[in-house]
Chains A and B, each alone.
Chain A
Amino acid sequence: MTVEAKKDASQERQKAMIAEHFNKLSRAKEDGRKVVYTFVPGNLTELLANFDLLPVLPEINALQSGMRGKTGDYIHLAEKSGHSEDVCTYVKADIGMLKSGNIGPTGEKLPPPDLLLLSYTGCFTFLKWFELLREEYDCPVVMLHTPYQGDGKITEEMRQYVAGQIRNVLIPELEKLSGKKFDEDRLREDLKRSAKAEDDLVWVLESARHKPSPIDAYFGGVYYIGPIFTSFRGSQDAVEYYELLRGEIEERIKLGLGPVTPDGVLNEEKYRVVVEGPPNWTSFREFWKMFYGEGAVVVASSYTKVGGLYDRGFRHNPDQPIETLADYCMGCYTNLNLPDRIKLLENYINDYQADGFLINSVKSCNSFSAGQLLILRELEKRTGRAGGFIESDLVDPRYFSAANIKNRLESYFQMIEAKRGKA
């Protein structure tokens, strides 16, 4: 079903960008650069760049450690030091990594933070996470409170609140830390580049409307969102990466190729599904294979929206540099209320002509998981399409039961097949 794949140029490019970033981090001390730890959803990368600060994203470290098979030990270490087995494993993996010498994904030691930027969008655990890190590092913390879209909208009060915090709390703190003045013109320039890259990212994600889809918007999607969700948004690197990626996908569509998988190109698209929830990282490849091995392609996913819902129209707006950052923070997927999450998924199922949808419910992440069974029920009711439910975790290998998940997925795909057979 698949043919041998060569590494795409965009992949190589991304790898090089990441390597360079970690290299900068490892040299931060010598180079006299300050380091800020912060989170992916609602990250303020352009603002940090404005002060030449280097971001570290503990979530990314945790998921990278998960993919490299390190998190079992890290989590164990954190639990030994008093953390409950019940709580978020990203936090425990991070604490375990810290206690094991803070070696990052590229094998180089990560510098300690000079500041913890607690911009918490859509996750209360972030708050606890940095309170816990504060115990370990002697550095200041800045809280940026992002209100939740409880009533399904961003009100003017909410926007003023967040923008006010950025102006009056965050920027002064960053100026103090870096010794540099805030440069609004530079921010505008960076935001322009952000919007440009965002345009291309949206084009890439929406290419999955094609039949067959040239991309997998979940397993492949997590690579595509990499640069824009992390330390590169607003950079020329990111702009070029997305141009390159877009060119590659255009080519795939021309050739009628399916998505790239670790085992080559998937050429027979049997099932098109929408996925809600983050993937499992410790068995990422194995999990992916359970999809492409059955000819299933993920055509849209909510996880690739945790760093911004660009495909619903949001773009960073250079004309209102601070307000646009506020809107960005509040607009990420995990900051949507449950009715809006359901509406979004319903639209994906229809717009991308999916055969059905799957929910990967992860134990760690209550922000995603609490309420997913109601999402399942509502989506089944509204779309009439097949819904599936599987359970795993982000980075705790104890919570990935391959046989159990495979069993459910196979049953699920066969159910779609049986329904089709009838039609």
Chain B
Amino acid sequence: MTIAAPAETATGRLGELIARAERLYEDLDFKAVAEWKSKDKTRRAIGFLPVYVPREVIHAAGGLPVGIMGGGDQTEIVRGDSYFQSYICHLPRSVIELLVSGRLDAMDGFLFPSICDVIRNLSGMFKLLKPDKYVHYFDLPQNFQRGLGGRFYGHEMREVATAVGRMTGIEPTDDRLRESIRVYNLNRKAIAELLKLRVDKPWLVPATEYYLVLRAGYMLPVEEHTALLNEYVQLVKDSGRRPMDNIRVMVRGAFCEQPPLALLRTLERAGCYLVDDDFVVGTRLVHGQVAEQGDPWDALADAFMHHSLPTPSVYDERHTKGELLVRKAREVRADGVLLMAPSFCDPALLDQPMLQTALEKAGIPFTSFKYSEDTGQFQVIREQAGTFADAIKLWGTV
């Protein structure tokens, strides 16, 4: 349920584009996926859970990677709650709800990246509830040496590629994978453009629009998504939107269970431009470009192990998470940081004290609060974010 009133509505071509992204966001029956599949009998869709899988691998085997990011705030939980105690986060409830109500039927397989114990165990639940589907726990490496973690990870990737290839009848050759890397590099480039524009001129890119166009990448074939991103960036550059007296904030903690759109609106209304965040972070966990030459499996492994954004689920080997956070905040000229974590999210909440220490040392203002994907009350958050913004505007600190 959306309590806050809708954001200023975009019109014309921009309006159509946003409406399309919003339809994809609300498509919790994954009709778009079923439609994509219906065009060719050999097409297969692989659902993956937060935070990150190398989608190139699925793409190379002819599959469509589809992000399963929870049920949002519109899914009524009838059966999902009966699988989880009250002290477990919300996302797995809605995912189970989607599964048992048949809304994930368009998926031919599921990947559960290794990010936390809840998602890990959810993989076993899927195995039990859908014994006839491909369900795989995708173990991302925590050792980052090429001969150890890299080798193990390469094997994991090959296994997924082979499994998907068996479904589609397409062999995931090195050449195909190189081509997939190239296609995803274009997507990464388009995302980088969007991120840059938001840092430079955040008034052109409202938080909900940003979220919707990014999230569309978890539903659309990558080629279409790249086109959508490029068009969006062009359209908002020409939109003539004007700056407001907002502060610039960075958001951390929302990498898995996604905040409802109404929460993003609430933050913006409270006077915050979101200039950096970790929403649907899997779309851009690997930053920069992945090597298009050489061994493509190694290239993907290297990218994950050495060129990815810090996230609480991946071991911080070099002990730099605080430093990187501060550096990023300076780079995007953030006035402050919102540490917003889902309730009961162990990785995000255990990370917070470390991030707070780093921010305190650097003198960067921050505030923290919890949410869940179906949060329906925003009064407290509105007041908190509003006070935070006002304090920064008045005194430059809190």
Contacts and interface: CB of A to CB of B under 8 A. Distances in A.
Interface of A: 81-84, 86-88, 91, 118, 120, 123-125, 127-129, 131-132, 134-135, 141, 143-145, 147-148, 150-151, 157-158, 160-161, 164-165, 168-169, 337-339, 341-342, 361, 363, 365-367, 369-374, 378, 391
A153 to B, nearest CB: 12
A338 B353 contact: no
Contacts of A378: 128
A337 B127 contact: yes
Interface of B: 82-85, 87-88, 92, 112, 114-118, 120-125, 127-129, 136-139, 141-143, 145, 147-149, 151-152, 155, 312-313, 315-317, 319, 341, 343-347, 349-354, 356-357, 370
Given A148-B120, A168-B148, A370 B88 contact: yes
B132 to A, nearest CB: 14
Contact of A373 (B85, B122, B139): B85
Contacts of A86: 87, 343-346, 349, 370
A127 B345 CA distance: 14
Of A88, A150, A151, most B-chain CB atoms within 10 Å: A150
Of A127, A128, A132, A391, most B-chain CB atoms within 10 Å: A128
B149 A339 contact: no
B233 to A, nearest CB: 36
Given A91-B350, A132-B354, A135-B357, A145 B88 contact: no
A182 B114 CA distance: 32
A415 to B, nearest CB: 20
A95 B146 CA distance: 34
A143 B88 contact: no
Contacts of B351: 128, 131
B356 A82 contact: yes
A337 B87 CA distance: 21
Contact of A132 (B87, B128, B143, B350): B350
B98 to A, nearest CB: 16
Contacts of B123: 150, 337-338
B117 A125 contact: yes
A235 B88 CA distance: 40
B324 to A, nearest CB: 14
A125 B137 contact: no
A377 to B, nearest CB: 9
Nearest to A399: B87
Nearest to A168: B148
B142 to A, nearest CB: 4
Given A367-B121, A371-B122, A374-B83, A148 B139 contact: yes
Contacts of B147: 164, 168
Nearest to A366: B117
Contacts of A82: 352-353, 356
